[in-house]
Structure 1
Amino acid sequence: MLQLNTQAASFAARPSFRLAATAFAALLATLSSNARAFEIDTGNPDVEIRWDNTVRYNYANRVESRDPKIGNSAVSDEGTYSFDRGQTVASRLDLLSEFDITYQKRFGARVSAAGWADGAYGANSHSNPYPPLSQIPSYINHQYSDYIDRYYRGPSGEWLDAFVFGGADIGSVPVNAKLGRHSIYWGESLFLGGNLNGIAYAQNPLDLQKGFATPGVEAKELFRPLNQLSAQAQVTQDLSIAGQYMLEWDSFRYPEGGTYLGPVDFAFNGPDRQFISNQLGFAQRGNPSEPKQRGEGGLAARWSPEWLDGTMGFYWRNFADKLPQTFLTQVGRNISRYNLIYADNIDMYGVSLAKNIGGISFGSELSYRHNTPLNSTVLGIAPGLPAPGDTKGPRGDTYHGLINAVGVIPKTPLFDTATWAVELTWAQWAKVTSGANLFYAEGFAACVGKDKWDGCTTKNYFGSGMSFTPTWFQVWPGVDLSMPLTYAVGLSGNAPTVFGGNQGNGNYSVGLGVDVRQKYRFDLKYIDYLGSYRSANGFAVTSQNGFTTLLKDRGFVSLTFKTTF
């Protein structure tokens, strides 16, 4: 892929969009008397109806200067030029509405929906203002696509959960089932890095747009529900079994190219194209190659014998990937095309152990993936679209493991209490079964003359994630104060799967949280990203170890208000 270089330059800041202070004050006033869940009295003790609404406003401002080498690259200039230092990068209002009805606590239904609008985004994308980069934007005529208008600018919304559930005893075995759009999460992983290397990988599509904006968030907060049938049976006091059958497939949601947290300009579903070279011109983004909607499934067993004083889990899943390989499927002057390719028929076998030792909750996993897509040469040439669910890119077998711990620190002279969590992850590629010519790994053709600092996969990868939150109660009447701290980084090597992790690649956040009367939550955070790149010519990034390295100049401060009523 050709990287173009220009001299670093700045340009006049354009107006930023902000939620008016009067409107925000009105919002607070409106919610002040209603900041609790709405429970409907049915007059029937067997029927419970609950309607929760969560309002969240987030304001964010870029405080870190642009890295000229990132801004001088043809594949990363639009993200860093989307906003200047000092500009508003988010002025987003979100509404989450949740409706639950239960009968005798065994039957019921749940529906939830989300809506949003972000005044920080206008209709136009922005790129390096100097030729040639100013003339080759990934959005035609510097106009954001309809996809960006919907999922960033808004106002827009979507349905989330929509399912029915029920329970019955089959003989002496209680069985519970759900049908419809919901999320299932197996295994013991905590953070995003753990999920991407865990038993629950691709069990639900994740909202990485949210994940990139909120480092340290637990993986379960990123789930996007899918239509499916799931069931669980308590076979004995010590043994439960569970299963799921998917009726819908969807990909992860990504930070899109040309937006503030979009690492590369051509990815994923928003941008129109990518400039390849003077000889070939642009490659247009084609429709993704997706697997069939139905057919994913899995089985799980959880065993808690008294002698173990813990819980072991055993898992099998057959699933379709929800992260893509990205290839040029057609090459020629002004006719080139690239597509996101999603492969299916991946088998995962896993085992987990959860145990409490000395008041600390430990979790661990070990899993094996067969026929899984591997890291590939991005925009590598793989002519022709494969059949749905197939890929011409590399596939193979990988091992994954993790161990984590969660604990609470009691009162000390420094704080009233503190919660902490730490997670270590591991991945290893075992063998390559197809597409070895496109496997982006040390010792393979795609990485000749390159090493891990160019992003090449290594035999083993180790990563980490951690959080620490001290809390002070009643610093003022009705007010609790907390200081959430998060840090995640690749410790050694590069993972064999997409977004699995890269050495030195990571993020961190430092924040202050204020809970007022347990009704209103205010969070002030600084968020930034870590990584390393190479600049062979001294003007622009020519290679990087992990795409999120290209966010290392995107440090920002965010202020968030949230309440539920």
Structure 2
Amino acid sequence: MKRNLIVLAAASLCTASGSVAAFSTERAGVNIQLDNKLSAGVAWRVASRDPDLVGKGNGGNAYSTNSDDGNLAFDPGDVVSAAAKITSDLTLTRGAFGIFVRGSYLFNDRLHNYDFFNPDNYYTPGAVDPGVGLTPTGRPSEVPIAVYHARTAEVRDAVGSDADLLDAYVFGSLDLGVRQLAFKIGRQVINWGESTFVLHGINSILTFDQNQQRVPGFEIEELLLPTSMAWFSMTLFEGVSAEAFYQLDWDHTTIDAAGTYWSTNDFAGIGGKRANITFGLPPENFPGTTIPRAPDRKPGDDGQYGGKLSFLIPALNDLDLSLYAMNYHSRLPLVSGTSKASFAAPASTGSYFIEYPEDIQLYGLSFNTAIGDWSLQGEYSYKVDQPLQIDDVEVLLAGVGLPSQLTPPPAPAFGSALGGKYLRGWRRHDVSQADLGVTYLFGPSAWAGWDQLLFLGEVGAVYVHDLPPSSVLRYEGPATYTPGDAATAALVSASTVPAFGSAVPQETGGYATDFSWGYKLVVRAQYNNVFGVLRVEPGLRFDHDVRGVTPTPITNFIEDRMMLTTTLAVHYLQEWSFEAGYTNYFGAGRRNLLADRDFVDLVVKYSF
């Protein structure tokens, strides 16, 4: 069908490099195939640091020092990543059965021994007060240098040198009378739905490693984290098929490690140990202004399963229609806390921790078809009991005994959360998400000279059912660092002005909204036989979040946020490819936490 040819061409153009079987043989009736991809890439920062994205205590204008470690760790012109990696696929087959194993190894010469954090924010033990000491610059700190070393070691281990077993499963096909049952059991990835770029729809069952996404020249199979599961597929009738999975363990999406170039959260990812709670005014780790991280609260492995029913309808232009239902546990992190012991107790008697709530149900519908020369695909998902993050300032205020939307006035009420009580930082809501994409493959052009030109467009939207107004309960948005209530901001300022010489303003916007949408466009040309041996592919991608702020942890769209990426790939004899790219983040003002992280990268790849 024409639609399938268009999609296949799109996939070939969007893949960074081809794959050539390096080794293929047969031994004792077993077919053996080994494919390897080796790459090396470098990325540089090319944008100046924006003071609006750096905390006041670190010399900037922002009312938080919990999101700027990565920004401060790399100056304009610095190399932010210099990585070499190899990914190998081994396939063994005999008859209708086989084994597939994929592994990768990464070494980042820039990051494996890098100092991501400022040691001047930590003290060396030995002071009279064992909980407070002087930093190398002579100012007080309540966090010992051992925490600095622990954070640094964790981040280096995650992004500096890493060996991973990715996929590892057995597969096969069983004859069941007139039908066949296909299966895969083991570590694998299931990517259901029709979304190409927009996440957290039907593809919510996917788990990602965001640190891998930041490696120059990453492949999609290195970004997706396989989990252990059993998957089955069967054709029930002509044009009707079914799939099902049962997950055997749980894993979570890994967000950017603290202190790495693209990180915008210093306390929730790998290397996150403390949160600074005095609205960015004092230097980091100033005595009385931090709370420690408690162990993450993870869900169980069981209770995660799903099914898919697909229909091919020739009478409707070969419409491929699928229905989905699944139950899963959150892959995305949410922040909750434990309140401090009493009004008089230091903030460090409280804590925060990362939670992954259980039992989210998802129901969905997807389709793909062709209309003339255009390929059209779309999906709709309805998630029941999706946990959404409350503004972390509200959780913080409740945890230290100040008025917040979790513990509103009068005073006896807002102090009632103290005493080591659990402060749930999220609430459940039903969430609808829709996505519509188009693909068109233009043929050869005499005037432009390309052999083919791919166009991809996708628009997505998120709607949160029954989300209360921010006057009732504020949900997390980017850079909502200060109290959303004027009276609370004034109360906080009564303490910060004499202590740090600065008031804390009221936050007047930026919170999550019930509706948000945006679109993404990709254009990629292909020029064959350049100089007789090269395939050249210039490309352009533009992302635009048009309206609204999607609640955390979904965060698909942040109003007016934009990204423009230009790429140039040169392929030689299928084995070699050379790539160059430039990415510009802009729009949305201080709400765009990556607005000053523009970068260029260069990559070379070899398939063998």
Question: TM tier, shorter chain?
Answer: 0.7 to 0.9
The answer to whether the aligner puts 1:421 opposite 2:456 as a matched pair is yes
Residues 385 and 318 of structure 1, relative CA distance in 2, 3 Å threshold: farther
Q: Deviations over 1:323-380 (max 9, x none)?
A: 1111332434323321111111111111111111112211111111111112321362
Deviation at 1:427, TM superposition (A): 0.8
The answer to whether the aligner puts 1:63 opposite 2:119 as a matched pair is no
Give the RMSD, CA atoms, in angstroms.
3.1
**Which of 73, 92, 105 is matched with 1:115 structurally?**
105
Supply the AA of the counterpart residue of 1:167: S
Identify the residue that residue 26 of structure 2 maps to in structure 1: 42
Residues 460 and 472 of structure 1, relative CA distance in 2, 3 Å threshold: same
Deviation at 1:132, TM superposition (A): 11
The answer to whether the aligner puts 1:459 opposite 2:514 as a matched pair is yes
The answer to whether the aligner puts 1:334 opposite 2:348 as a matched pair is yes
Contact 1:438/1:446, CA 8 A, preserved across alignment? no
Deviation at 1:288, TM superposition (A): 1.2
How far apart, CA to CA, are the structure 2 residues paired with 1:36 and 1:249?
33
Identify the residue that residue 35 of structure 2 maps to in structure 1: 52
| Map 1:275-290 → 2, pairs under 5 A | 275-277=276-278, 280-290=288-298
Contact 2:216/2:601, CA 8 A, preserved across alignment? no
Tell me, what secondary structure is at the counterpart of 1:111? strand
Contact 1:264/1:550, CA 8 A, preserved across alignment? no
Tell me, what secondary structure is at the counterpart of 2:48? coil
Identify the residue that residue 504 of structure 1 maps to in structure 2: 560
Q: TM-score with structure 2 length normalisation?
A: 0.76
Deviation at 1:451, TM superposition (A): 11
How far apart, CA to CA, are the structure 2 residues paired with 1:70 and 1:530?
13
Identify the residue that residue 434 of structure 2 maps to in structure 1: 401
How far apart, CA to CA, are the structure 2 residues paired with 1:401 and 1:134?
51
Identify the residue that residue 361 of structure 1 maps to in structure 2: 375
Q: Deviations over 1:179-224 (max 9, x none)?
A: 1000111110101xx222x1111x1201222345679x99776321
Deviation at 1:554, TM superposition (A): 1.1
Residues 374 and 43 of structure 1, relative CA distance in 2, 3 Å threshold: closer
Contact 1:310/1:353, CA 8 A, preserved across alignment? yes
Residues 133 and 437 of structure 1, relative CA distance in 2, 3 Å threshold: farther
Tell me, what secondary structure is at the counterpart of 2:313? coil
The answer to whether the aligner puts 1:125 opposite 2:116 as a matched pair is yes
Residues 556 and 263 of structure 1, relative CA distance in 2, 3 Å threshold: same
The answer to whether the aligner puts 1:159 opposite 2:165 as a matched pair is yes
Supply the AA of the counterpart residue of 1:90: S
**Which of 154, 157, 165 is matched with 1:150 structurally?**
157
Larger Rg: 2
**Which of 424, 441, 466 is matched with 1:431 structurally?**
466
How far apart, CA to CA, are the structure 1 residues paired with 2:561 and 2:138?
30
Supply the AA of the counterpart residue of 1:189: S
Deviation at 1:177, TM superposition (A): 0.8
**Which of 568, 572, 584 is matched with 1:516 structurally?**
572
How far apart, CA to CA, are the structure 1 residues paired with 2:141 and 2:42?
31
Contact 1:398/1:431, CA 8 A, preserved across alignment? no
| Map 1:250-329 → 2, pairs under 5 A | 250-277=251-278, 280-308=288-316, 309-329=318-338
Q: Deviations over 1:263-306 (max 9, x none)?
A: 12223122221222367421222221111022211011010122
How far apart, CA to CA, are the structure 2 residues paired with 1:137 and 1:529?
34
Q: Which moved more, 1:285-294 or 1:344-353?
A: 285-294
Residues 132 and 344 of structure 1, relative CA distance in 2, 3 Å threshold: farther
Deviation at 1:458, TM superposition (A): 1.5
Identify the residue that residue 403 of structure 2 maps to in structure 1: none
Identify the residue that residue 8 of structure 2 maps to in structure 1: none
Gaps of 5+ in 1: 1-34, 535-543
Q: Which moved more, 1:297-306 or 1:446-455?
A: 446-455
Identify the residue that residue 558 of structure 1 maps to in structure 2: 601
The number of residue pairs the alignment matches comes to: 504
Contact 2:523/2:539, CA 8 A, preserved across alignment? yes
Identity of aligned residues (%): 24
Deviation at 1:47, TM superposition (A): 3.1
Residues 259 and 392 of structure 1, relative CA distance in 2, 3 Å threshold: closer
Q: Deviations over 1:114-167 (max 9, x none)?
A: 11111112242244989899968998336643321222111x211101100111
Tell me, what secondary structure is at the counterpart of 2:93? strand
Tell me, what secondary structure is at the counterpart of 1:268? coil
Deviation at 1:75, TM superposition (A): 2.0
Supply the AA of the counterpart residue of 1:206: F
Identify the residue that residue 141 of structure 1 maps to in structure 2: 148
How far apart, CA to CA, are the structure 2 residues paired with 1:75 and 1:343?
24
How far apart, CA to CA, are the structure 1 residues paired with 2:50 and 2:249?
41
Q: Deviations over 1:461-500 (max 9, x none)?
A: 1111221111211221211111121121211111235223
Contact 1:78/1:137, CA 8 A, preserved across alignment? no
How far apart, CA to CA, are the structure 2 residues paired with 1:364 and 1:138?
52
Identify the residue that residue 168 of structure 1 maps to in structure 2: 174
Tell me, what secondary structure is at the counterpart of 2:71? helix
Contact 1:394/1:432, CA 8 A, preserved across alignment? no
Q: Deviations over 1:248-270 (max 9, x none)?
A: 11111211221111012223122
How far apart, CA to CA, are the structure 2 residues paired with 1:356 and 1:132?
68
Supply the AA of the counterpart residue of 2:434: G
The answer to whether the aligner puts 1:77 opposite 2:68 as a matched pair is yes
The answer to whether the aligner puts 1:209 opposite 2:217 as a matched pair is no
Gaps of 5+ in 2: 1-18, 55-59, 122-136, 279-285, 341-345, 400-419, 487-504
How far apart, CA to CA, are the structure 1 residues paired with 2:436 and 2:41?
33
